[in-house]
Structure 1
Amino acid sequence: MNKKLWLTYGMLTLATATWGSAFIAGKLAVQSFQPATVAFLRFFGAAILLFPLMWIMEKNRKKLTLKDIGLFTVLGLTGIALYNICFFLASKHAPVIKSSLFIASNPVLIVLLSGLFLKETITRNNIIGMIIALTGVTFIITDGHLLTLFQLGFEPIDLVLLGAVISWALYSVVGKVVLKKYSAVESTTYAVAFGTLFLLPFALVETSWQDVQQASLTTWVAIAHMSIFVTVVSFVMYYYGIKEVGAAKASIFINVMPVSAVLMATIYLGETFTWAHGVGAAFVLSGVYVGTNTKIFQKKIEKISA
């Protein structure tokens, strides 16, 4: 495996691991603001950072066409506005065990949509790696008690979580189309700009100036963290990863996010790290390795047929 590919995989791992911290930061932020407002503040802060970054890094920026504006509108609506409203609603109202599992199912839908609409090749390794990683995620969030999943039952918040999964899958697939013309920085900047505009009306309706003044320092630190690290740094790295290895393969790394969330909850929220977390993390890492290494099963097949 060449150095560039290792660098890409490293960036995807770091990006999705950083997303895990959004579970912690989101829990803190929704104590002071409503979900849509948290999302707006997060991306408004990110936009302030992204535009200067784009102007510095991208000297030969391409002119936006009407088709491009349409694509970026879809990106802003799906991956920025709808996904984050659903995500922060889940942070406030859904059990972590349920929301984590829903979010972890993202790669399955991304791989299917990538195969259908982008004609990306879905390999045996992609599917096997995804199953192994999803098994590990399930192990982690149920703490080894897999039957817990069947005891949760259906709740209205499940529709919100389903909306989050569909929104992010569409964002990843449409993002691949946009990346054929625009860089990772440009794509992220424009998507965040359109998403912020979609979120603005919600924030104005549900938040007063008094809410802004009364918000705690912890809330502002959490929002700043989500703006800088979870959004600007991680989104650019994730988009770069999609451009280099495709949406289907990049989506496998999303399974790193719940593992990261559990580890951070252990460190920062004092939650206990159990044996199930360790076993689950091993499954996730194995799944990511299998899903991204096309030669593992190919060599075995060649040996059998030889």
Structure 2
Amino acid sequence: MNKKTWIIYIMLFIATATWGSAFIAGKIAVQSFEPATVAFLRFLGAAVLLFPLMWIMEKNQKKPTLKDYGLFAVLGLTGIALYNICFFIATKQAPVIKSSLFIASNPVLIVLLSGLFLKEKITRNHIIGMVIALTGAAFIITDGHILTLFTLGFETIDFVLLGAVISWALYSVVGKVVLKKYSAVESTTYAVAFGTVFLAPFAFAETTWQDITQANVSTWVAIAHMSIFVTVVSFIMYYYGIKEVGAAKASIFINVMPVSAVLMATIYLGESFTLAHGIGAAFVLSGVFIGTNTRLFKRKIQVVNITEYR
């Protein structure tokens, strides 16, 4: 593994670990605003920062075509608007165990879609690493009581959770297509801009000017953190990682998010860090290592092109 690849993996690790802080910041922000409003303000702030950043960093910008704008709109609709709406609805109505596990299962769908539509190679270490990392995430989420997952049952809210998972998977896969022509900064900027527009009607419907003026300093600091670090910095790093190593391999790092969230909850919210959390973290990190180390298993599993059998 060369030096550049290690740097990319470190960037992906930092990006997904930073996403874990969104749970802490979001918990603070929703005390003053409804979920859709928090998401809108977060991405509005990010858009204000991203456009100047794009104009400074990208000297030779390509003029998007109508088709390109359509792809950017899909990114904004899936990864920004729908994902956040589904996620916040689920966090209010579904058990934390169930919603967290659904989100942690994202890499599975991303790998499958990447293999089918992007023709990315699905390697044995991809699958082994993904299973180990997902097991670790489940261990953390359930505090070591994995069997409780079988007692939750199926509910209507599960469709909303499934919507969140599908939305993020589509965002990652379509993003790989967009990255063939545009940089990580350009792709993130346009996706955030469209997502902000899609979120605006929900925010305007549920928030009044009085809500804005009565929000405390902690709320605005939390939203600023999500705009700058969770969105601008982390999304750019994640997209750059997808461009360099592929959506399937980059998605394995999503399992770092629950580890980060637990550690930050321990530090900032005073929640306890248990032995199960430590074991789960070890599983996640082992899974990420196995899933990204191509030398461990060299045999590749070819994805069948279903169009050949039509």
* TM bucket normalised to smaller: over 0.9
Per-residue Cα deviation, 1:3-25 (whole angstroms, up to 9, x for no partner): 10000000000000000111111
Name 1:16's counterpart in structure 2. 16
Name 1:104's counterpart in structure 2. 104
User: How many angstroms does 1:26 deviate by?
Assistant: 1.3
User: How many angstroms does 1:35 deviate by?
Assistant: 1.3
User: How many angstroms does 1:150 deviate by?
Assistant: 1.5
Name 1:304's counterpart in structure 2. none
Q: Is the 8 A contact 1:134 1:284 kept in 2?
A: yes
Name 1:225's counterpart in structure 2. 225
User: How many angstroms does 1:169 deviate by?
Assistant: 0.2
User: How many angstroms does 1:89 deviate by?
Assistant: 2.2
Q: How does 1:52-67 map to 2 (within 5 A)?
A: 52-67=52-67
Name 1:85's counterpart in structure 2. 85
2 CA distance for matches of 1:30 and 1:93?
14
Q: Is the 8 A contact 2:124 2:298 kept in 1?
A: no
Q: Is the 8 A contact 1:23 1:91 kept in 2?
A: no
Name 1:148's counterpart in structure 2. 148
Name 1:272's counterpart in structure 2. 272
Per-residue Cα deviation, 1:19-44 (whole angstroms, up to 9, x for no partner): 01111111221121111111100000
2 CA distance for matches of 1:91 and 1:270?
20
Q: TM-score, normalised by structure 2?
A: 0.94
AA in 2 matched with 1:141:
I
Kindly indicate whether residue 73 of structure 2 is the aligned counterpart of residue 46 of structure 1.
Answer: no
AA in 2 matched with 1:217:
V
Q: Do the aligned partners of residues 79 and 196 (structure 1) sit closer, same or farther apart at CA in structure 2, a change above 3 Å counting? A: same
Name 1:73's counterpart in structure 2. 73
Structure 1 unaligned runs (5+)?
300-306
Number of residue-to-residue matches in the alignment:
299
Name 2:7's counterpart in structure 1. 7
User: How many angstroms does 1:148 deviate by?
Assistant: 1.2
1 CA distance for matches of 2:275 and 2:146?
14
Aligned-CA RMSD value: 1.1
User: How many angstroms does 1:154 deviate by?
Assistant: 2.6
AA in 2 matched with 1:2:
N
Q: How does 1:230-241 map to 2 (within 5 A)?
A: 230-241=230-241
Farther off after superposition, 142-151 or 13-22: 142-151
2 CA distance for matches of 1:131 and 1:34?
35
SS of the equivalent of 2:144 reads: coil
Name 1:303's counterpart in structure 2. none
User: How many angstroms does 1:218 deviate by?
Assistant: 1.6
Name 2:304's counterpart in structure 1. none
Structure 2 unaligned runs (5+)?
300-310
AA in 2 matched with 1:188:
T
Kindly indicate whether residue 36 of structure 2 is the aligned counterpart of residue 28 of structure 1.
Answer: no
Q: Is the 8 A contact 2:20 2:259 kept in 1?
A: yes
